[in-house]
A and B are shown apart, each in its own frame.
Chain A
Amino acid sequence: MPFPFDLPMTSLTYMLLYLATFVTHHLSMHFVVAGCLTIVGASIWYRTDKEALLANPVIRVLRDWMPFGLSAAITFGVAPLLFVQILVPHNFYTANLLLGWRWMVVIPALIAAFYLLYVLKSKWFERLAWWQRALVAGVNAGLFVFIGFCWTANHLVSSQPEAWPETFASGVLPLAAVQVVSRSMVWLSVAFVSMASVVTAQLAYLREGTATDQDLPTVGWLRWFALAGLGLFAVASLAAIGVSIPGFAAVNNISGYLWLGLGTLLWAGQIALWHSSAMATSRGWIGLRLGMLAGMLFCGSVVRELIRSASIDFAALIPKHEEAGEVQGFSLFLITAVIVIGLMTLSVWWVRQSYQAEEIDIES
């Protein structure tokens, strides 16, 4: 059986939960980081035409939804953070400790980035000069890139147990620039694909303030973002695998071929769906394209874990998973999951049932 299906049931359960939640986190995070970079670019592109910038449907959607996007990214990020502590606890904690203050700075950076997204959404932002708008969005994007770097560093440090004592003594992290850059490029390139896919879906289906029926055909240019992102993603992924410590050896097996092959198929499928201008802006293909994106992210995440498990003594961790799996509460989790999904559906139903396009005047 290919990885992770070759793992014992307990380890497999934690691993699948980790991978699935990791993908949902990344989809939301991509939306925000690529969104901020898009606003930087658009502020420069439309520097003499502020009205065009603010009226652009993509910019409208991004400004409106990015705070929610980050909230979702943080909320969805809690689950993989929980499961990684079961899967590779010693490695994860040690990497946190070796990163020390650099790791802790993620929290204030995230808070600052969150509030800056509300600044991007504000009327105040609209009154700024073009370079000020680009600066605010640029600082915001910079904070997200820094946070992404911290996670990359954490992952790389956690995968090099032999370097821990020396790292602790010297304070110098065992990070090769080529590894950091290639991994960052993987993340940043696919972020544009995710952002383009999500924004297109929002414009097609949202009808309250951010989208109109006329919007969808006008955002065909997003496909160039997606196509360029997919191209760069393929190159960066191959580079990241190549420069990883176990590198090609970790994926040169049945598991690696399966996930790389499946990922390539989904990657090619997205190219096909984005390639045609009509398909790129047609409602009919949006769901399939999002599904393919999520699938490709899942394959990428599995390959990432395949490399990590080859870098460390993963077999030694399996008994610890078994030990963790003996604690009670799994049934409670499953039952609650069903109830919570039901309650979320009910909440949406309440809104749909009483939704009126005309706003209610609360002051009266």
Chain B
Amino acid sequence: MEVFPVNQYDPLMPGILMAIVAVVHVFLAQFAVGGGMLLCYFQWLAMTGRCANARLFVHGYFKWLVLISFVAGAVTGVGIWFTAIQVSAPTIGEMIRNFHWIWATEYLFFLLEIFAGYLFYRYHRNISDAACLKLLGMYAFAAWMSLFLINGIISWQLTPGGWIDDHSIVAGFFNPTFWPSLFFRTIVALTLSGLVACIVVNTMTKLDQEEKRKLINYAAHLLVPMVLMPILGGWFMLAMPEDSRSWVTGGSPAMTLFMNISVGASVAIGGYAFIGMFLQKLYINGATATLLLMLAFGATAGGEFVREGSRKPYSIRYWMYSNGIFPDEVAQMRKDGCLANDPYPLTDGTKVAGEVTTRGAKVFRRQCAVCHTVVGINGVTDLTKTWDADQMRMNFAKLQHTKPFMPPFAGTPEELESLVRYLKWVEHGDDEAAEAPLEEEALANIQKWLDAAGTEPASGPRHRSDVAMKGDR
């Protein structure tokens, strides 16, 4: 069992960092994918004489794509790796270990995307329309293939599918949420590119309002596929594990809130786009287009939060818990303790009262710190302040039953007691109570509760541990 140092960012929880970088990157990356398709469409409009200013638009739009997508999009893509390591090195390690050739294949398409994009950027004024269309087509194809391949890895985290039984990469890649997720993201990509187009058109000072309106109306065609979103969203929900679905449909208030934000923002954009921009062919100004794009950002953020959160209690469903512990390690850790292989002391300056609270702080760091702070966003002391010490002992011991989206406690009764003492000490500051000798009776009770709870998760199929026992990992 490899143990990594865990950084705590109180009052921010590490998941927030991941979410910020991931949402920004996903937003930019999907814009890049949709941008390629939109440019092909406008280049075709220009070449067939359907839209007088389409060629001018293509060249203006591409500069934005380069400046935003090639720069911030590419760098935040690398940033996701950096952040994922900070948040959960075991998770990203498993993803890389199992899918590195898919990632390497995706990288090849990324290379092609950048290559074709820069060729267009560099030479579009010196080459024919047909060559421009071919380069844009190449760019769009490569960008979409990147999405196709990454989507397989990301959706595998939520629904590993047949991979869990035989580690078949094909089964893991084409997992149950792969197709709805791919189609949904493709439509999101088209939507984002269409909304950015509306902003770009408004920056084209050489055109009058009527000319701009025509371009906007063509851009609105990219928003029409949004009508399929409810179907694809429903398909995705049906393909989700049952317990994950229950988190987002009321089981977890935070997940449900983010889901509502995503759906609400999408409905607002889709309604406006379909009725106003497509049917009534309205002109929209830069401010309105920016507002719609901000709504789209909200929808993306909500969706990504839901995607990340709905995997709970896992970071890779049935395979690794959100705290980086493998399910089949729990039973062993109940005997040996979760600190047995942890060589890392507390960071200098960490406030503790003595030996027991030091152990408690380390247990917190090992098992809770990925998703929680001590005092801050999603702070455990806040979440448990209505519990007395005994309730806390029992609830932690039976964590997967008390809170089914939490992993089971993976440690000894002494470690659990130390965690309780530490959290109560943070809340009340009572050094004497925190460092008092551990009572046999309390430990026996904790052991009883731990035994009653078992080491299996409360939700989802149980056969995962059988697979792990085969020594596949």
Contact = CB atoms under 8 A, between A and B. Distances in A.
B344 A168 contact: yes
B380 interface: no
A333 B126 contact: no
Contacts of B142: 343
B345 interface: yes
**Residue in A111, A344, A351, A359 whose Cβ sees the most chain B Cβ within 10 Å:** A351
A327 B98 contact: yes
B192 to A, nearest CB: 20
A222 interface: no
A85 B96 contact: yes
Contacts of B77: 78
A157 to B, nearest CB: 11
Nearest to B342: A165
Nearest to A89: B93
Interface string B68-105: 00111011111101110110010011001111111111
Interface stretch (A54-62, A94-102, A128-136, A297-305): A94-102
Contacts of A362: 55-56, 59, 124-125
A306 to B, nearest CB: 24
Interface stretch (A36-44, A68-76, A287-295): A68-76
Contact of B75 (A110, A169, A208): A110
Contact of B169 (A168, A324, A328, A351): A328
A332 interface: yes
A81 interface: yes
A333 B85 contact: no
A357 interface: yes
Contacts of A212: none
B4 interface: yes
A205 interface: no
A348 B119 contact: yes
A124 interface: no
Interface in A315-336: 323-324, 327-330, 332-333, 336
Given A356-B126, A363-B56, A350 B131 contact: yes
A341 to B, nearest CB: 9
B348 A171 contact: yes
A360 B127 CA distance: 8
Contacts of B74: 71, 74-75
A180 to B, nearest CB: 21
A86 B107 contact: no
Given A78-B110, A96-B82, A336 B89 contact: no
A336 B78 CA distance: 22
Q: Say which size band chain A's interface belongs to.
A: 35 or more
B118 A351 contact: no
Contacts of A106: 82
Contact of B343 (A164, A170, A348): A164
B330 interface: no
A175 interface: no
Contacts of A329: 99-102, 104-105, 169
B82 A86 contact: no
A208 B123 CA distance: 9
A71 B73 CA distance: 11
A343 B108 CA distance: 11
A86 B118 contact: no
A356 to B, nearest CB: 6
A344 B126 contact: no
Given A93-B4, A168-B5, A363-B206, A71 B115 contact: no
Contacts of B169: 327-329
Contacts of B56: 362-363
A344 B112 contact: yes
Nearest to A358: B126
B71 A114 contact: yes
A144 B118 CA distance: 22
A359 B85 contact: no
Contact of A77 (B55, B67, B78): B78
B116 interface: yes
Secondary structure call for the B interface: helix
Contacts of B103: 82
B130 interface: yes
Contacts of A328: 101, 168-170
Contacts of B75: 74, 107, 110-111, 114
Nearest to B473: A323
A165 B119 contact: no
Contacts of B100: 82-83, 85-86, 324, 327, 329
B5 to A, nearest CB: 4
Nearest to A107: B79
B86 A96 contact: yes
Given A171-B348, A327-B97, A354-B131, A78 B123 contact: no
Nearest to B80: A107
Contacts of A111: 71-72, 75-76
A347 interface: yes
B139 to A, nearest CB: 9
Interface in B100-153: 100-105, 107-112, 114-116, 118-119, 122-128, 130-131, 134-135, 138, 142
Given A97-B7, A169-B346, A329-B102, A78 B107 contact: yes
Contact of B67 (A90, A118, A347): A118
Contacts of A208: 122-123, 126
B386 interface: no
B2 interface: yes
Contacts of A356: 126-128
A118 B70 CA distance: 12
A329 B343 CA distance: 36
Interface string B146-186: 00000000000000000000011110000000000000000
B5 A97 contact: yes
Contacts of A165: 343-345
A248 interface: no
Interface in B313-358: 343-348
A332 B105 contact: yes
A281 B355 CA distance: 71
Interface string A126-164: 000000000000000000000000000000000000001
Contacts of B21: 107
Given A82-B104, A97-B7, A354 B128 contact: yes
A118 B74 CA distance: 16
A71 B118 contact: yes
Given A75-B110, A332-B105, 14 more contacts: A78-B107, A85-B92, A111-B72, A111-B76, A340-B112, A344-B116, A346-B138, A347-B134, A347-B138, A350-B134, A351-B135, A354-B131, A356-B127, A358-B126
28 contacts: A71-B71, A78-B78, A81-B78, A82-B96, A96-B82, A97-B89, A106-B82, A114-B75, A168-B344, A169-B348, A170-B348, A171-B348, A324-B97, A324-B100, A328-B170, A329-B101, A333-B108, A343-B116, A343-B142, A344-B111, A344-B112, A347-B134, A351-B119, A354-B130, A355-B126, A356-B128, A360-B126, A363-B206
Interface of B: 2, 4-7, 21, 55-56, 59, 67, 70-72, 74-79, 81-83, 85-86, 89, 92-93, 96-105, 107-112, 114-116, 118-119, 122-128, 130-131, 134-135, 138, 142, 167-170, 206, 343-348
Shortest Cβ-Cβ A-B pairs, 10 listed: A329-B101, A93-B89, A107-B79, A328-B169, A354-B128, A354-B131, A359-B125, A340-B108, A168-B5, A354-B127
